[in-house]
Amino acid sequence: MTPEEKEQLMTPGPPVDAPDLSPTLRMASLTRREENSVIDLRRKHSYTRCSSAMRAFSECSMHYTVGVVWKCKEPKDIMNECLRRANTVDDMDRARKIFLHEKLQSLDEKKDKPRTLIGADQVTEAGDNAQADGGSGFVRNYYSSEKDTHSGSMHEQRQQLPVYKHRLELLYAIETYQTTIVVGEPGSGKSTQLPQYLYEAGWATDGKTIACTQPRRIAAAMLAQRVATEMGVELGTTVGYSVRFSNTSSDLTRIKYLTDGSLIRECMTDPLLSSYSVVLVDEAQDRSLATDTLLALLKKIQRKRPDFRVIVSSASLDAERFQAFFGQNNSVIVAISGQLFPVDTHYLPEPTENYVHAAVETVMAIHQHEPQGDILVFLPGKDEVMAAISEIYEQRDHNRSLESLVPLAMHAGLPPAEQKAAFGPTRAGTRKAVFSTNVAETSVTIDNIAYVVDCGFVKQRVFDPATGLDRLVTRSISKSSAKQRAGRAGRTRPGKVYRLYTHTAFASSLFPLYDAPEVCRLSLTTMVLSFKALGVRNLVRFDYFQPPPPELLSRAFEDLVSLEAIDKQSGALTRELGVHLAELPLDPQLGACLLNSVRKFACTREAIAAVAMLSLKESPFVSRQKHKTESMREFMVQEGDVLTFVNTLFAYQETPERARSKWCRLYFLNERLLEQASRISRQLEGYLAKMGYRDALQTSCGRSFEMLQKCLVSGLFANTARLDKSTGEYRLVRGNVVAYVHPSSVYFAQDVKPEYVVFASAMETTKLYMQGITSINMEWLATIAPSYFTIN
């Protein structure tokens, strides 16, 4: 870091405004001339009776009705006159078309390559059959393609979505402003319909692509499949997706769903995103680290590309903050109003000690005493989801009334076939209960949900400056998240939400108004690496969406210097490691392990397998302890978890494909996980080949495990722990914090443990647990990471 950056970094910046939950929000519209817009939240209180099984909940119920009054920036005399004369829905629709044509025609006269638009005299009386010869006018394309490409039933479903009645306002806003901020509830159709409206309007002509980014991989894949189905095309042709380690897009793709991180990596090779005409940043209210990074990059691109359009979609009322960032004169806010059915909210009268069991009890009570309708249950993580489903099955064995209750899982690591089961229709005579992590909170919509059970907790990664670790901790959700979860009920009918916490607790500070954005609570090494790769010289003065805390920025810079990814004197990426590290879809620590296997340790084949397995953050051994122990004995390597994983993956890959399923059952192994690791390995080989390391791909250390151990130290040295022989506990070298061996580790049941270890990740529940552990030699630390360690 340069002296100038250090000085600026230590200078306190302006205070960051706290999020505003005010129900008043100024918005811009295309249909009315009011000076101010108001979202009027009307609370209605009612009291309902539940069955005896439901009386554990307080009988207070609330639902919200949202009414929107629009404002407009300039008089719309033509539009108002047309609307005053319009007496039917068709007439109003035709009036909008005439208005849009005249406004867009005046805009297009100023452009070098105007879009061809249908003339006002060509709008038919029916309103939806407008045609024109040639060109790619967005009114013409929009109205001519809907009926040609969709079946009647699919077309009707699209028309019923709340976003449909705002399609023309949205298209006009996108044509007029560089940035459009769209506010709408989950399930309003923003994610699936907006890209289609843009495609039908001609924004994908001349080889351009429409991008829609998502914070989660599962959402990008599911949305792409849904849109492909609606458009009647095969996934991978007109519609595709690109996420980490999976890409179904092609040269034919014109609507592309990506994670925020995937689009950031595309910026590395195409800094101006010249292949895209529009980028829709969906679920921006999640404020992931990648989302904040992408917003900052898109703003820079807009300065160079006036034709480039950015759409920011948010389900919460923070639109003014997005507009302030992109500029009041270059952006507009459009709210999607839609009819939402009332949702009755129930709280527990007393806190529960076991929210997983309480969730199961509530689901069973709903199934036995409430009218038909599917159930969505929010739990913190995958482990809790699987525990709840297991308990449901145990209860079904003793209760015949539960036989028609179908428990299903939903989490980010779920294979596609099981994902489809959660989204698929409910069989006649059954009720679906989907146990989900927060992935179902905003990113994806499950149909026919009438009941929501909310445990009130979420697992989040939080950076601990004392240890330098991103810990996975379980904490209370925000009030905003609670509202999003409740909104999943009542999308198609009146619903109910059962909150497994008291109203007093919810009203207190235990539940913050908003979740803290990741830029304020995570390690910033990935973000700093991306900005440096894109030529950002001064990290302090950069135009962030939200400036990161100086201490996190400084720590990230120091960590990248220690990894030899950034030159300490110039502050630029190093050619040998830093530049390539930014190109990899990996955490910088794992990326350093992979690249150093080529540069220093001659163990590329083993390092690829190790990094592939660690990227999945899951053990390949089945969860039942007896079977897990038996399976581990077959593949266990004394040097630790990572080498055991490598040994297991190699054995799987050497097994003939037709025999792999049987082989995995024999050894109690997760076939899906091992197959996924094999695919990741092949993709990592592709990345290395593009970097010029093709000849090193088959370089192997054989049975000389020491080279692979050293390679892991070169990336994970900051995650070093030492065994305190007096207590039998491990303590982190950085921070001197007590850490424990995770139950999934090969070392968990062993009496004799190595003195020094490095680990891939840490998880905190009641204790801090180390995962992905490898034994090391103390002397290696000073040799491999001299800027970090000295040996006394």
**Residues 345 and 397 placed together within one structural domain of the fold:** yes
Structural domain contains residue 361: yes
Question: Would you list the DSSP string of 303-365?
Answer: HH-TT-EEEEEESSS-HHHHHHHH-GGGEEEEE-------EEEEE-SS--S-HHHHHHHHHHH
Lowest average pLDDT, out of 38-52, 301-315, 719-733, goes to 38-52
**Residues 362 and 336 placed together within one structural domain of the fold:** no
Structural domain contains residue 587: no
CB 445 within 8 A of CB 417: no
Q: How many helices (H) and strands (E) does the chain have?
A: 27, 23
In our burial notation (b when 16+ CB lie closer than 10 A, e otherwise), range 465-496 reads: eebbbbbbbbebbbbbbbbbbbbbbbbeeebb
**Residues 208 and 310 placed together within one structural domain of the fold:** yes
- The pLDDT tens digits for 179-214 are 999 998 777 889 999 999 999 999 999 899 999 999
Q: Are strands 239-243 and 246-247 parallel, antiparallel or unpaired?
A: antiparallel
**Rounded Cα gap, residues 458 and 456, in angstroms:** 7
pLDDT at 42: 24
pTM of the model: 0.76
**Residues 310 and 425 placed together within one structural domain of the fold:** no
pLDDT at 308: 97
CB 62 within 8 A of CB 95: no
> Which CATH number characterizes residue 311's domain?
3.40.50.300
**Residues 307 and 348 placed together within one structural domain of the fold:** no
Is the confidence at residue 138, as pLDDT, over 70? no
The domain boundary residue, chosen from 306, 340, 374: 340
**Residues 361 and 460 placed together within one structural domain of the fold:** yes
- The pLDDT tens digits for 214-231 are 998 888 998 999 999 999
**Rounded Cα gap, residues 573 and 583, in angstroms:** 12
pLDDT at 664: 93
Sign for the pseudo-dihedral over CA of 761, 764, 765, 768: positive
pLDDT at 784: 94
**Residues 501 and 443 placed together within one structural domain of the fold:** yes
pLDDT at 379: 97
pLDDT at 151: 52
Share of the chain above pLDDT 70, in %: 79
**Residues 350 and 494 placed together within one structural domain of the fold:** yes
Tell me the β-bridge partners of 240. 256
Share of the chain above pLDDT 90, in %: 56
Using CA atoms in the order 379, 385, 390, 393, what is the torsion angle rounded to 10 degrees? 70
Q: Which residue would you say has higher pLDDT here, 337 or 372? A: 372
Structural domain contains residue 61: yes
CB 236 within 8 A of CB 461: no
Structural domain contains residue 99: no
pLDDT at 60: 39
- The pLDDT tens digits for 69-99 are 233 333 344 344 334 433 333 444 444 444 4
**Rounded Cα gap, residues 638 and 777, in angstroms:** 14
Structural domain contains residue 142: no
Is the confidence at residue 2, as pLDDT, over 80? no
Mean pLDDT, to the nearest integer, of 558-569? 93
Structural domain contains residue 603: no
Of 478, 169, 449, 193, residue with least CA distance to 318: 478
pLDDT at 341: 82
Burial (CB count within 10 angstroms: exposed 0-12, middle 13-18, buried 19+), residue 788: middle
Of 758, 745, 768, residue with least CA distance to 788: 758
pLDDT at 47: 28
pLDDT at 102: 52
CB 718 within 8 A of CB 724: no
Number of domains in the chain: 3
User: Residue 101 — pLDDT band, cuts 50, 70, 90?
Assistant: low
User: Residue 464 — pLDDT band, cuts 50, 70, 90?
Assistant: confident
CB 745 within 8 A of CB 771: yes
Tell me the β-bridge partners of 762. 471, 770
Is the confidence at residue 299, as pLDDT, over 90? yes
CB 134 within 8 A of CB 116: yes
pLDDT at 125: 29
Q: What φ, ψ does residue 464 adopt, rounded to 5°?
A: -110, 105
- The pLDDT tens digits for 614-633 are 999 888 987 655 556 666 77
Query: Where in 437-543 does DSSP place strands (E)?
Result: 449-454, 457-464, 469-476, 495-499
Tell me the β-bridge partners of 259. 214
Mean pLDDT, to the nearest integer, of 682-689? 96
pLDDT at 443: 67
pLDDT at 11: 44
Question: Would you list the DSSP string of 257-292?
Answer: EEEHHHHHHHHHH-TT-TTEEEEEETTGGG--HHHH
pLDDT at 90: 44
The domain boundary residue, chosen from 480, 495, 516: 516
Question: Would you list the DSSP string of 404-415?
Answer: TEEEEEE-TT--
- The pLDDT tens digits for 649-662 are 999 999 999 999 99
Structure tokens at 645: 């994983």
Mean of per-residue pLDDT scores for the chain: 81
Q: Are strands 343-347 and 309-314 parallel, antiparallel or unpaired?
A: unpaired
Structure tokens at 276: 């895209």
Structural domain contains residue 102: no
DSSP 153: H
Is the confidence at residue 4, as pLDDT, over 80? no
**Residues 59 and 201 placed together within one structural domain of the fold:** no
**Residues 393 and 422 placed together within one structural domain of the fold:** yes
Count of other CB atoms within 10 angstroms of residue 142: 24
- The pLDDT tens digits for 15-25 are 333 333 332 23
pLDDT at 59: 38
**Residues 367 and 334 placed together within one structural domain of the fold:** no
**Residues 283 and 350 placed together within one structural domain of the fold:** no
Where is mean pLDDT largest: 242-246, 275-279, 313-317? 275-279
Q: Are strands 756-764 and 720-724 parallel, antiparallel or unpaired?
A: antiparallel
pLDDT at 109: 45
Mean pLDDT, to the nearest integer, of 144-166? 69
Three-state secondary-structure class, residue 61: strand
Is the confidence at residue 103, as pLDDT, over 70? no
pLDDT at 629: 64
Structural domain contains residue 674: no
**Rounded Cα gap, residues 395 and 486, in angstroms:** 26
The domain boundary residue, chosen from 486, 516, 546: 516
CB 590 within 8 A of CB 615: yes
Where is mean pLDDT largest: 440-444, 491-495, 618-622, 691-695? 691-695
Three-state secondary-structure class, residue 193: helix
CB 698 within 8 A of CB 606: no
Q: How far is CA 310 from the centre of its chain?
A: 19
Using CA atoms in the order 701, 704, 706, 709, what is the torsion angle rounded to 10 degrees? 50
Q: Which residue would you say has higher pLDDT here, 526 or 131? A: 526
User: Residue 716 — pLDDT band, cuts 50, 70, 90?
Assistant: very high
Is the confidence at residue 535, as pLDDT, over 50? yes
pLDDT at 723: 95
Structural domain range at position 429: 38-66+341-516
Lowest average pLDDT, out of 145-159, 589-603, 655-669, 719-733, goes to 145-159
Lowest average pLDDT, out of 386-390, 584-588, 763-767, goes to 763-767
CB 163 within 8 A of CB 184: yes
Mean pLDDT, to the nearest integer, of 147-151? 43
Of 104, 62, 100, 107, residue with least CA distance to 83: 100
- Cα R_g (the chain), whole angstroms: 28
Q: How far is CA 410 from the centre of its chain?
A: 14
